[in-house]
Structure 1
Amino acid sequence: MFEAPDSPGTSPFLPAARRLRGLVFDLDGTLIDSVEDLRAALNRLLAGRGRPPLERSAVQAMVGDGARKLVERALTAAHGAAPDVATLDPALTAFLADYEAAAAVHTRAYPGVREVLTRLRGAGLKLAICTNKPYAASVAVLDALQLSDAFDAVIGGDSTPARKPDPQPLQAALDALGLPPGGAVMIGDGPHDALAAAAAGTGFIGVTYGYGTAGFAALTPAPITIDRFADLPARLGLTGG
């Protein structure tokens, strides 16, 4: 049985239900480390425009708000000014076509992800992805890493009109799972995930190894966090093997 690790109702970031029925996961920085493939595709885009490559740290800081914002930030960094729509739209199209064709060359699941997802499903929980990454790119990565079968639903950054921190995509994930907010917990690596969870009425658990974790410090109250994905079952109160 899953039980919330703390008393429900004391924080918008604590799991909201005594008995959990489902979990909704962010993707990049939570389940997978995808920066190197994103960086490679961005640098190919920039090279075609005669611009120098971006370092990993720069790309990591750009991730989290969807592909359009990622490409916009990369072009802004490369040119010193934000691109106009006439520049950004074709650049985004080119980036997505390139990235989706080679989305899992260097991308890997974080340690413990496969084993923990199998355990969670075995415990009867429904699982979904809620990411700001476009749907097609998300599915391409999940398929390449052989993780697709672990999830009952995938909500991408273009699956709904709004993206996290707006709660709309998280609500779409809950609807796809057939769950009320109080029966689910969101797991993510940044404040967008935590704020979406609070607005949607789910619980939230943050991972400290991801891309946006520095933003947790600005949240009041501070969210529950785990340092390793393998710690998630225990944090949820899952007992047994």
Structure 2
Amino acid sequence: MAGTVVFDLDGTLADTSGDLIAAANACFHARGLGALLDPVEDALIAFHGGRAMLRAGYARLPGDTILPPGAEDEDYPRLLGHYGQAIAIHTRLYPGAEAALDRLADAGHRLAVCTNKPAALAETLLRELGIRDRFAAMIGADTLPVRKPDPRPYQAAVQGAGGALGRSFLVGDTETDRKTATAAGVRVALVAFGPEGAGLARLAPEAMLRHYDDLPELAEEWLAG
């Protein structure tokens, strides 16, 4: 019997860290500060959001550097603007993701996205990656008044896809996704191929996903019967 598989986006379906960090560095360059973040070493920071990247960059400035009051609030919308203009330059789907989506759909499962990325940016990125049509629902950070780990965005994603909460699960890559699944009363599979890798096992997910090739079988196990 078919169910609903809900995906996080950044760090789960696609490695978006390079383009996210480029957007943050564009803000730093505009202030004459140079590139404060490294696209490889700081990949994990990127998946904690734009403000986290800005704060991480500011924290690396010499002690005598003076930033104007409200620098973060000024730079955050600028970061989103830079990112929206170059959203899929370095971003790539994780290996096997697209094939897994096709296999899940062929098995009759409904697919949805639930992300803390602003909805307009998420829609744009999914289109750029050529996979928007795979998903029956897409819930972003600003679709509802609340965002993950509140369970309501997840619930809205399942409902929007025409599914039932009790026959659904989440695929994610962060503690936020773990907490979202717990709050919604569903299982979560955390990916072992993102920046944190196997270290996510510390969050005690119901499954660690080593490769997208393993997802259709997991869905069959969790959603069958």
State whether structure 2 residue 35 is matched by structure 1 residue 35: no
Q: Which residue of 2 aligns with 1:182?
A: 166
CA distance in 2 between counterparts of 1:33 and 1:237 reads: 26
CA distance in 2 between counterparts of 1:51 and 1:171 reads: 42
State whether structure 2 residue 54 is matched by structure 1 residue 71: yes
Structure 1 residues 77 and 172, CA gap change in structure 2 (3 angstroms): farther
State whether structure 2 residue 141 is matched by structure 1 residue 171: no
Indicate conservation of the 8 Å contact 1:130/1:173, yes or no: yes
| TM-score relative to the length of structure 2 | 0.86
CA distance in 2 between counterparts of 1:175 and 1:110 reads: 26
In structure 2, which of residues 118, 121, 131 is the aligned counterpart of residue 147 of structure 1? 131
Return the structure number with greater relative CO, CA threshold 8 A, min gap 6.
1
CA distance in 2 between counterparts of 1:37 and 1:166 reads: 27
Indicate conservation of the 8 Å contact 2:146/2:152, yes or no: yes
Shift of residue 57, structure 1, vs aligned partner: 4.3
Q: Which residue of 2 aligns with 1:235?
A: 218
Structure 1 residues 108 and 50, CA gap change in structure 2 (3 angstroms): same
Give 1:189's aligned amino acid: D
Secondary structure of 2:138's aligned partner? strand
Secondary structure of 1:56's aligned partner? coil
Q: Which residue of 1 aligns with 2:26?
A: 44
| TM-score relative to the length of structure 1 | 0.81
Deviates more, 1:52-61 or 1:36-45: 52-61
Deviates more, 1:154-163 or 1:108-117: 154-163
Indicate conservation of the 8 Å contact 2:4/2:109, yes or no: yes
Shift of residue 126, structure 1, vs aligned partner: 1.0
Structure 2 residue ranges without an equivalent (≥5): none
CA distance in 1 between counterparts of 2:207 and 2:51 reads: 30
CA distance in 2 between counterparts of 1:168 and 1:134 reads: 16
CA distance in 2 between counterparts of 1:97 and 1:124 reads: 38
CA distance in 2 between counterparts of 1:126 and 1:68 reads: 33
CA distance in 2 between counterparts of 1:179 and 1:48 reads: 46
Structure 1 residues 216 and 84, CA gap change in structure 2 (3 angstroms): farther
CA distance in 1 between counterparts of 2:206 and 2:23 reads: 33
CA distance in 1 between counterparts of 2:178 and 2:115 reads: 13
Identical positions, percent = 37
CA distance in 1 between counterparts of 2:88 and 2:182 reads: 32
Shift of residue 109, structure 1, vs aligned partner: 0.6
Secondary structure of 1:172's aligned partner? helix
Give RMSD over aligned pairs.
Answer: 2.4
Indicate conservation of the 8 Å contact 1:190/1:215, yes or no: no
Shift of residue 178, structure 1, vs aligned partner: 3.1
Shift of residue 114, structure 1, vs aligned partner: 1.1
Secondary structure of 1:104's aligned partner? coil
Shift of residue 58, structure 1, vs aligned partner: 4.8
Aligned positions, number: 218
